Amino acid sequence: MESIGRHLLRDAAYGRIRGAIVDGTLAPGAALRPDELAERLGLSRAPIRDAIARLASEGLVETKPQSYTRVTEVKPKDVEDAAAVLGAMHDLAVRNVAGSLTGEVVDRMREANVRFAAAVAAGDVEGALAADDEVHAVPLLAYGNAAATGTVERYTPLVRRAERLLFTSPQATRSVLLHDQLISALAARDVEGAVAVNAEIWGHLHHSVDL
């Protein structure tokens, strides 16, 4: 049985390396050397190797035995595939909660979108990403489907690097408007309208970023 200590170290290594990939500290194509990462993170090689294997299974790292281990490039097909999966999970959530969200819950989305718009206007990418997550988390949490939530957590990193490009481009203002349309549909308990806007949001992510 795996010890709790090793499990925690492995998760810590995974979280920190994944975070560095997603925020660009480890850029696409950057070599990943277990010895260097272990020294940088203050961990042993074992949890680093486990983390790299997990990240490879998730498409953020690519390896070739005896040749290289590196951060994957941001590939349009990977973004498109991941965005499709995320869109489907959020579609499930929206379909199931659009007719029943309270005004208080919808107001949380509206407040998050105000923060999103302000962050976009200020060029604050981290703030925009955090607020965008808050907007989309509301129907997902209201849905309460653990499998859907887990799938979103699994595939979000694959689109996060593309979102960074989107939220620093002029197209980011369209995301603000699409959020507003989604919120309005949910406030009106317009299920089909909310579903249609949700589909546009996730299609917008792929088509608006020149990778």
pLDDT of residue 206: 60
pLDDT of residue 1: 39
Residue-wise pLDDT tens digits, 128-137: 999 999 999 9
Residue-wise pLDDT tens digits, 56-113: 998 899 998 888 999 998 888 888 888 899 999 999 999 999 999 999 999 999 999 9
* pLDDT above 80 (res 210): no
Residue-wise pLDDT tens digits, 4-49: 466 688 888 999 999 999 888 999 999 999 999 999 888 888 999 9
| pTM, rounded to two decimals | 0.80
Domain termination residue (choose one: 53, 71, 89): 71
* pLDDT above 50 (res 50): yes
Domain termination residue (choose one: 34, 51, 71): 71
Tokens of 102: 């309270």
pLDDT of residue 163: 84
User: Cα-flanking dihedrals φ and ψ of residue 63, to 5°?
Assistant: -135, 150
> Residue 104: which domain range?
76-207
What is the CATH classification number for the domain harbouring 35? Answer: 1.10.10.10
Closest-CA residue to 183 (of 127, 130, 132, 126)? 132
Q: How many domains, in total, are found in the chain?
A: 2
Distance between CA atoms of residues 207 and 211, nearest Å: 10
Give the bridge partners for 70, in sequence order. Answer: 31, 62
Domain termination residue (choose one: 29, 56, 71): 71
Let me know whether 102 and 191 are in one domain.
yes
What is the CATH classification number for the domain harbouring 136? Answer: 1.20.120.530
Distance between CA atoms of residues 206 and 104, nearest Å: 31
* Contact call for residues 62 and 113 (beta carbons, < 8 A): no
Higher pLDDT, 178 or 162: 178
Q: Give the DSSP H/E element, type plus range, for residue 57.
A: helix 45-57
How distant, in Å, are the alpha carbons of 41, 162, 200, 204, 208 from that of 174?
39, 15, 11, 9, 10
pLDDT of residue 60: 92
